[in-house]
Structure 1
Amino acid sequence: MISKEEGEFLVKLARRAIETYLKNGKVINVPEDVSSTLKEEMGAFVTLQRDGDLRGCIGYPEPVKPLAQAVIEVAISAATGDPRFPQVTPLEMDNIQVEVSVLSKPKLVEVQNPAEYLEKIEVGKDGLIVEMGIYRGLLLPQVPIEWNWNIEDFLANTCMKAGLSPDCWLQEGVKIYSFQSQIFEEE
């Protein structure tokens, strides 16, 4: 997908986008000299952590924008628009760690029987999107590792993230997509 250097660049870009926006309300432009890879449309999430706790996480699961542009937009949204948290303040930024996840295109996990999800989804490798009607929830591949979940816990929590019952993955009409991500974070 993308190189380590490109990933490090995206993390710095995300931090600069947030700091510039928090200081003077301006959205930075994508630098002219970005690599052609960073101009390709890819899904991206920016996760903010403070003292090891989640402080904001927003992203585009689908490849709808050029990657560098997507990172700028979701970085600002993670800092200012995550409904679970108050807006990040400029003073907080010294204590915030920025993480960028670059996502592969989500693929429908095809099964004849819901029990097959347990064999087709790999904890630590796959991220999940659960979809049923207007309900949709997403968890990044790193989440089940951080919480020490098995595959059933991962499915249940993705269902709940969608606002559905924890066992919705067993129901007819539920679609589950998997994707992979490359994760880059500040030291």
Structure 2
Amino acid sequence: MQDEAINKPIDPDEIDDETGALLVKIARQSVEYYFKNKAIMSTPSYIPKILQRPGAAFVTIDTYYSENQSSLRGCIGYIEPIKPLINTVMEVSLEAAFNDPRFNPMDEREINFVTFEVSVLSKLEASPSDKIGRLNFIVIGRDGLVIERGYNRGLLLPQVPVENLWDKETFLSETCIKAGLWPDCWLDNKTKVYRYRAMAWKEVKPNGIIIRRDLAKEYEKLINKHESI
């Protein structure tokens, strides 16, 4: 039974804010350690047992300009829980810093000007195959999307439609584009659409306090602000 428990994938709802904040600290420390030692940091001995269970996660690194302005610096992760969550976060933090193909590798001088965010993902859930079913299947501010067709696969985190003020159709279309497909591919029932939940914790500024994001509230606030303009 003990082996069964340690091998059970983590659901993001199982992680409290203290543990979520720890994941963000470990993500930053992994990159800082690599800059200092040109080696991969060992797994800390004080890690709680829950983080030794398999978990899917993404690490997002943003260049910080001000409280309301930042830009993406790197984002990489695992969709499936293929290794202990702590190891996933340590690995993908380095990948986001140095191997995101959209950006040059991070320079050590940047480390105090970037913020780290960790998103822990739930298992994938397949959507209905019809248009209305797929639209009703998605909740902006809760769900991320994965779209697959043949060898093409694309993922967008739940933060993306919130930060860009997308509606459901735009979210689906942009995930199709991320997969290298045409924007309306989600309307074809041969295209597979999956949702997943995610919990995200982030630094509010470089080396700053760490908070859990309430994406539903963020989305509502942005919509209200947009409508009042």
2:79 corresponds to which of 61, 68, 81 = 61
Mapping for residues 56-95 of structure 1, pairs under 5 Å:
56-95=74-113
Aligned to 2:133: 116
Matched to 2:97, the amino acid is A
Cα deviation for residue 24 of structure 1 reads 2.6
| Residue type at the aligned position of 1:18 | V
Alpha-carbon offset, residue 23 of structure 1: 2.9
Residue identity opposite 1:98 in structure 2: F
Which of 1 and 2 has greater Rg?
2
Q: Is residue 2:184 matched to residue 1:171?
A: no
Aligned partner (choices 14, 17, 20) of residue 33 of structure 2: 20
SS in 2 for 1:46: strand
Gaps of 5+ in 1: none
Does structure 2 conserve the Cα–Cα contact (< 8 Å) formed by 1:115 and 1:170? no
CA shift digits 1:97-134 (9 cap, x unpaired): 0000011111112x142331111111111000000010
TM-score calculated relative to the size of structure 1 = 0.97
User: Which of 176, 179, 190 is matched with 1:159 structurally?
Assistant: 176
Tell me the percent identity. 45
Q: Structure 1 residue 182: deviation in Å?
A: 0.7
Unaligned runs of 5+ in 2: 1-13, 65-69, 205-229
**Counterpart among 21, 43, 49 of residue 8 in structure 1:** 21
C-alpha RMSD of the superposition: 0.9
Q: For 2:119, which of 101, 105, 130 is the aligned residue?
A: 101
Q: 1:29 aligns with which of 25, 31, 42?
A: 42
1:113 is aligned with what amino acid? D
Q: Do the aligned residues in 1 keep the contact of 2:117 with 2:203 (CA within 8 Å)?
A: yes
Asked whether the equivalents of residues 156 and 168 of structure 1 are also in contact (C-alpha less than 8 Å), the reply is yes
Deviation above 3 Å: which 4+ runs of structure 1? none
Q: Which AA in structure 1 matches 2:116? A: V
Shift of 1:30: 1.3
* CA contact 1:42–1:105 (8 Å) conserved in 2: no
Mapped to 2, the partners of 1:9 and 1:103 lie a distance apart of: 16
